[in-house]
A and B are shown apart, each in its own frame.
Chain A
Amino acid sequence: MAPLQKRALYSFVIGLILTIALIVVFVAQGDITAFERDPNLRLIMYAVLIGVPLIYLILVNLTLRKPAQLDERDRLIIERSSRAQWLAVIFTLVVWTIALTEIYRGQGQVPIAFLKLIFIFTSTLIISTLAHSLGILVGYWEMNRNE
């Protein structure tokens, strides 16, 4: 197994365990409103939200810094996986936006905070698409400049 493959497997297993643990905590606390009721749970969630991407970035950087552990084939696989990651994020945002809108409409009231969240989701979607196009344009511009 390649070093990058091993690291990805560990990250996947740890991520899965962490996700299940979070779901169990919320189920044990009653429902999602525990996030508002319990200040400790809120702090744990903040720590997870900041800590997980930070640890992930550190681990990825540690792998990328060792040239013997990472070659062109690994980089190609990383690029492909990034596309899958981007699609998964967009898909999740879209599903949440539609699902929550329908749930709130069914209840006959849409909270103002949710409308702000929709704005955040939509702007993230638009910006990510724009950034993708911009990335392609910059890539071509840089290549033409180096010719």
Chain B
Amino acid sequence: MSRIKNRIRRLRFDHNEMTQEELASKAGCTRQTIIALEQNKYVPSVELAFRVAKAFGVPLEEVFKYEDSQKG
């Protein structure tokens, strides 16, 4: 499992219950990729990560975070 976690599912609901299809359309990817991202089964490229953040109108770090196992 990747150490990069995201809040896409939470943000979708906070943004007027945006559907996966709508987010996929705004971010320029397929709905299946959004599903994979939400389930933490796929780590996006930097470009896609920025596009997803832009689709929500928030900075990148509000969508994705790196969980460092060194920290407590």
Contact = CB atoms under 8 A, between A and B. Distances in A.
A119 B28 CA distance: 48
A67 B48 CA distance: 14
Interface string B27-54: 0111011001000001011011000000
A70 B33 CA distance: 10
A69 interface: yes
Contacts, number: 28
A27 B18 CA distance: 57
Nearest to A71: B29
A109 B44 CA distance: 58
Interface in B1-42: 28-30, 32-33, 36, 42
A2 B32 contact: yes
The 10 closest A-B pairs by CB, nearest first: A71-B29, A2-B32, A73-B33, A71-B30, A71-B33, A72-B45, A73-B42, A2-B30, A72-B48, A73-B36
Contacts of B47: 72
Interface residues of B, number: 11
Nearest to B36: A73
A50 B42 CA distance: 37
10 contacts: A68-B30, A71-B28, A71-B30, A71-B33, A72-B29, A72-B44, A72-B47, A73-B36, A73-B42, A74-B33
Contacts of B44: 72
Given A71-B28, A71-B30, A72-B48, 11 more contacts: A2-B30, A69-B30, A71-B29, A71-B33, A71-B48, A72-B29, A72-B33, A72-B45, A73-B29, A73-B33, A73-B42
A3 B29 CA distance: 12
Nearest to B41: A73
B54 to A, nearest CB: 16
A71 B26 CA distance: 13
Contacts of A72: 29, 33, 44-45, 47-48
Contacts of B36: 73
